[in-house]
Chains A and B, each alone.
Chain A
């Protein structure tokens, strides 16, 4: 699942462009981002409204287990970095394996 400040229309375009199977959620007003405490408190580096949003989330990947607890997290301290796909894959593998062995 992804969460961003995109509008649903922008998300639909991204969904098609990237061929994603994931649910993509729109968080224009950062209500969900604030529930997670992930609003960037540093300098806003995106376009202002109406093109962009008034603030942006810190790029973060989270893995949530079947009990609803965060079991893994990867956060970029610099927006030009992203979670390394291999690192995410390894975390998924580890936690899927853990779940399957229970």
Chain B
């Protein structure tokens, strides 16, 4: 019979990482990720470390390691995403009081758009990353 003591660590690890991930997704959908993400980061490090401990206590090939694997891999991915999230604008980035540059682009219907059509209008322009 396999030693299943590591489940007592693997399952809590998965609950910690999975629960905080669910809260993160919920905040993300509400455009409410906090500016200070320390609590999330600490939670993922703790959850991932507990999962890692569970993996070290168990033998390879043991299916009861699955919760610990999920906890470790999810926390690593989330920490990686946070670490690469910093944005760096170009030195010549636009600033308040600058004139908007003219531009042309294609709209969602495939029709050409010219920024000159905005003349005389107040416009809110939102640059966002993309839908994937």
To the question of whether A and B form a pair in one complex, the answer is yes
Give chain A's interface residues, CB within 8 Å of chain B. 1-6, 8, 10-15, 22-27, 31-43, 45-47, 51-53, 56-66, 68-73, 75-85, 88, 92, 95-96, 99
Q: Are B101's CB and A41's CB within 8 A?
A: no
Give chain B's interface residues, CB within 8 Å of chain A. 28, 31, 33, 35, 37, 81-82, 84-103, 105-110, 113, 118-132
Q: Are A15's CB and B101's CB within 8 A?
A: no
Number of inter-chain CB pairs below 8 Å: 196
Complex Cα gap A84–B110 (Å): 30
Q: Are B31's CB and A82's CB within 8 A?
A: yes
- The residue that A40 contacts in the complex, of B88, B121, B125, with Cβ under 8 A, is B88
Given A37-B93, A46-B132, list of 11 further CB < 8 A pairs? A1-B126, A5-B129, A8-B107, A22-B126, A36-B101, A38-B89, A51-B132, A57-B128, A62-B94, A65-B122, A70-B98
- The residue that B88 contacts in the complex, of A2, A4, A41, A65, with Cβ under 8 A, is A41
Residues of B within 8 A of A52 (CB): 130, 132
Q: What 9 A-B pairs have minimum CB-CB distances, sorted nearest first? A: A11-B108, A37-B93, A42-B88, A25-B105, A41-B88, A35-B101, A57-B127, A37-B90, A37-B92
Known: A8-B109, A26-B108, A57-B127. A71 touches B96 (CB 8 A): yes
Known: A4-B129, A4-B130, A53-B130. A41 touches B107 (CB 8 A): no
- The residue that B120 contacts in the complex, of A2, A57, A66, with Cβ under 8 A, is A66
Complex Cα gap A83–B93 (Å): 18
Complex Cα gap A31–B103 (Å): 8
Complex Cα gap A69–B31 (Å): 28
CB distance from A48 to the nearest CB of B (A): 11
Complex Cα gap A70–B97 (Å): 5
Complex Cα gap A50–B89 (Å): 24
Q: Are B130's CB and A73's CB within 8 A?
A: no
Complex Cα gap A71–B99 (Å): 9
- The residue that A64 contacts in the complex, of B81, B91, B93, B122, with Cβ under 8 A, is B122
Known: A41-B88, A41-B90, A73-B94. A58 touches B127 (CB 8 A): yes
Residue from B96, B121, B130 with most neighbouring chain A CB atoms (10 Å): B130
